[in-house]
Amino acid sequence: MIKYTVILIIVAAVIYYHLIENTDVGTQGKTIPETKNLPSLYNIDLRDTVYTLKPYYIVANLAKQKGYLYSRTEPVYEFGISSGNKKFLDAVETNEGLYVIQSKLLKWHSEQFDSTLMLNWMGFNHGIGFHALAGNSYYKYLGVKKSSHGCVRISREDAKYLYARIEIGTPVLLHSDNNAVFLGFGDSSNINMYINYSYSNLYKILPERYNKLYEGRYFIEPLKKVLIGKNNVFHNGLPIGDSKRIPEKQLVLPGSLDTYYAVQDVLRVKSYRKI
């Protein structure tokens, strides 16, 4: 009996040795203090996640000139966009960032560009927003290339579809395949699991959360689930980080329930996001 016990202990030790690695993680190859012998998750394509209680959120990929309306109950709705091109006179690039819809108007005339009529206006960044135009000449650029003076142009059909569904406070994520954060739907029946930071606190806290990603420590220290909405995201928006700084592996705490839920979030994002 003692002989078999010794054999089992040796086998367990060998298995444990192969599971645990000495791990150096970080953009500069630096060793993470006090976590050298923790196991790692590899190639999980991880992003931070912030949550909304709204029924929809919008993601626009400025690199691909594509927009996506995510819904709690409907399939993802894809639409072509044409964002700002700073090469035009008096034009600006559409800024990347994490925003919310701040205003909605069926019709609005641009004060800057000869009172141009904008249809189904959905503003999120001061004078920048989603909208359609009365003519058809811009349709050939939708989903193809940047052609606006700063706003995100969409077709009249897509503008009506979005306008009928989104609300003031609906989150908007604009990125160029470089976002360290994504959006998720919160659970209103379990509101106590989320925290609603002020705008000023969010502006400081989100980069700190991204740094945990960059250092490979995202699963090591518990992170609260963050809610965003009209009350804590202002016109200037929030930073989205840089996914290119996220290493391929993240350290994990063995047996951590938080890790289980975080990995589920990763799988959800990999399955449903379009970035």
Are residues 171 and 184 both part of a single domain?
A: no
* Model pLDDT, residue 45: 79
The two tokens of residue 188 are: 């209103």
- Inter-CA distances, 37 with 78, 132, 187, Å: 44, 55, 35
State whether 141 and 184 are in the same domain.
no
Name the domain count of the chain.
2
How do beta strands 56-61 and 171-175 pair? Answer: parallel
Residue 22 is assigned to a structural domain of this protein: no
Q: In what order do the strands lie in the sheet with 66-71?
A: 77-80, 66-71, 56-61, 171-175, 97-100
**Where do we find the tokens 């016109």?**
235
Q: Are residues 76 and 126 in the same domain?
A: yes
Closest alpha carbon to 105 in 89, 92, 117: 117
Q: What is the pLDDT of residue 252?
A: 79
**188 and 244 housed in the same domain:** yes
Assign residue 170 the CATH number of its domain. Answer: 2.40.440.10
User: Which residues are within 8 A (CB) of 100 and not within 5 positions of it... i.e. 6 or more apart?
Assistant: 124, 168, 169, 170, 171, 172, 228, 229, 230, 233
Percent of the residues in the chain that have a pLDDT greater than 90, as a whole number: 64
Is 13 domain-assigned? no
Does 236 lie in the same domain as 212? yes
- 62/146 same-domain check: yes
pLDDT at 3: 46
Which residues constitute the domain of residue 230? 34-50+180-272
> Is residue 215 domain-shared with residue 114, that is, in the same domain?
no
Residue where a domain terminates, one of 154, 175, 196? 175
Tokens (6 digits) for 263: 């990995």
User: Is 9 among the domain residues?
Assistant: no
Q: Which of 111, 140, 175 is the last residue of a domain?
A: 175
Q: Give Cβ neighbours of residue 159 (< 8 Å, ≥ 6 apart).
A: 119, 120, 122, 130, 131, 132
Distances (CA, A) of 62 to 41, 174, 264: 30, 7, 27
Regions of the chain with pLDDT less than 70: 1-44, 112-114, 255-275
| Of 123, 146, 175, the domain-final residue | 175
Encode pLDDT of 172-212 as tens digits: 999 999 999 999 999 999 999 999 999 999 999 999 999 99
